[in-house]
Structure 1
Amino acid sequence: MDKIRHNLFQQVGDFPPASVTNGSAAHPDAGEPDADLLDAYSRAVVRVVESVGPAVVSVVVGKNLQGRRGEQMGAGSGVIVAPEGYIMTNNHVVQGAERIEVRAADGTAFPARLAGADPATDLAVLRADTGNLSYVSFGDSRALSVGQLAIAIGNPLGFDSTVSTGVLSALGRALRSRDGRLIENVIQHTAPLNPGNSGGPLVDSRGRVIGINTAIIPMAQSICFSIPSNTAAWVLPQLVADGRVRRGYLGIAGQSQPLERSLVLALGLTGSRAVEVVSVNRTSPAGRAGLRPGDLIIAINETCVGCVDDLHRFLATWPISEPATLTLIRGRQRIMLPIVPVEAVACPATG
């Protein structure tokens, strides 16, 4: 019997205490004891919650019911990004809201109004009728690494100030917003989210907001997504100033594609990726300029283009109706095409 027990222990890797005499040899890279590592992890999470928690709010919205009395209630999360009362959340949390109320972590409730929204990135900014609030700062989402600690704070299913932790499981994901536009560079993480977490912050171990939680995959295990902080920081001032993000429109649908190494060397290109034109609206600026499906856009003016997000960023800052020049590869030739972007009214395509 003892021999059977010994063999069983060996098979499952569970040895009796007498057999564990040289744990450091089995794990030569082990440094701190597990208890110390756990304490360090706990201290990091506690510090973040103490510093960021007061800036996380619950967003409660009311939507009038058509043809009936009363209101349909919805709820999400938000994070205060300026002491004057500016709060960032998801557009889908407040879309169609007739009434918005914000509740702080200490239970204080105050009314808020929509300052601006950008359905293309599923972000919105609220303005609360109060000031001198605790607020957060954004981190640099370009500096993130897969595997690093991620902390989500929000109000899932009505449970206020709920904290969950995980790691960044992937970077550079693409996610479609509810208006069909592709959101690039989305963060995938394992900090558990539930309905009500939408609009709350994803935070790193230093208490910097690295993302705005926006979506989960139903019936999956810890596959959660956040809009990166750099996108949020880019959208925020435009929503505060104008209530929307003004974007130029080319009239194409495109996707990022790697370039063949031989092509990069032959044409002396500086980048290794391009935006492949998938379809072209014939009556759009792109159609009038002569773009074709299969063209590979590598630059617009002097700005290198490696993904659709690069086009979006350029078009958001380039003056509407101001001529620009597209550099593209057709076949194995470099071509320059003049193009005049127009203002996108309803973001009908990816560029």
Structure 2
Amino acid sequence: YQGEDRSDGGSRLPQQQAPAHRRQQQEEGEETNDEGWETVGEKKQHGRPQQCEAWNAYKRPPSEQEYSEDFGQIHHGLNVEPTREELNSLTEACSRLWELDMNRLVPGKDYRIECGEGKKVYQKDDMASENLFSWLGDDVLTKPTYSRFCALLDNYNPHQGYKEVVTQQDKHEEAAFIEEIARTAPIKYLHRYLVLKGVASQDYDDFKAMLTSLWFNLYGRCGNSSCSSAFEHVFVGEIKEQRQGETEVSGFHNWIQFYLEEAKGNVDYQGYIFPRRRGESPDSETQLLTVQFEWHGVLKSVSSSLIGVSPEFELALYTLCFFMGGEDNRVDIGPYTVNVKCYRMGNNKIGSVFPIAEN
């Protein structure tokens, strides 16, 4: 797994005149520091997290819920059948998945990130004066697959080792999420690929059950039973205790979870990790980012995430690499060459899976 480190610190600088954003706060009657000091390196300003009213409706039995139109009924001309080249090449298949991700967001149009300053993994200073996400379009989290994904994120205890309690409502949300993404192009392509490789059943309901089991079935970590799942680890994140009482963040490789937790004030973005090649620093257009952050005050010294991709794309990509690849899967995804790192728990469970930038 990716390494961890610790970070703290902060300083205060005198100022002669309040900056524009602070003057605006004063005019609007917000609380300010009357001593003329500007806080640097302490808590950043956080936006209000977006929550859709629809999320509560996902707790109903899946058969009572409404879903999007099936992809095949909307896009008659788009083919989701794998080619011979794609069946013989995992990187070709991953590139095709990227092309089929119609719900992927557009940087600058749907959201904006501020990467701040770069750092090396072992550096402890907070190099980001702002949040990673400066804004997200109001309609983004209302997209059906995004909205159902968000509804799953509060179903888990982030502290690794505590037995998870799965309610009937949680199961409804899981089933409804799988049903929603199963109507999209990336998941339909994944199904056809795994069928042709002899991994999945031709029956689509059986395939959906396989996805549910792979991602949501609970398993044990560190000697504790039923305390984790592939979905929780990869997309939500976990906080685990090390020896001598130290803690570290494990997993947490999803940009939507990052955005929501940052908006709540639970995540403190600390800066991006310098890329392997000099002169190729990330910017607001970057959709593969390696960062450092704190979650609930616990440091994640290095974490890679795809930014702006849809939940269905990410789940399809990681599932494909789990079944068809090994621990290291060097593939091309759009403009990026990545190593999709895949760790197994036994032979049939995802321990962790995440992208590492290769260029």
Say which structure is richer in helix: 2
TM (norm. structure 2) is: 0.26
Say which structure is richer in strand: 1
> Which structure has the larger Rg over C-alpha atoms?
1
Higher relative contact order (Cα pairs below 8 Å, separated by 6+ residues): 2
TM (norm. structure 1) is: 0.26
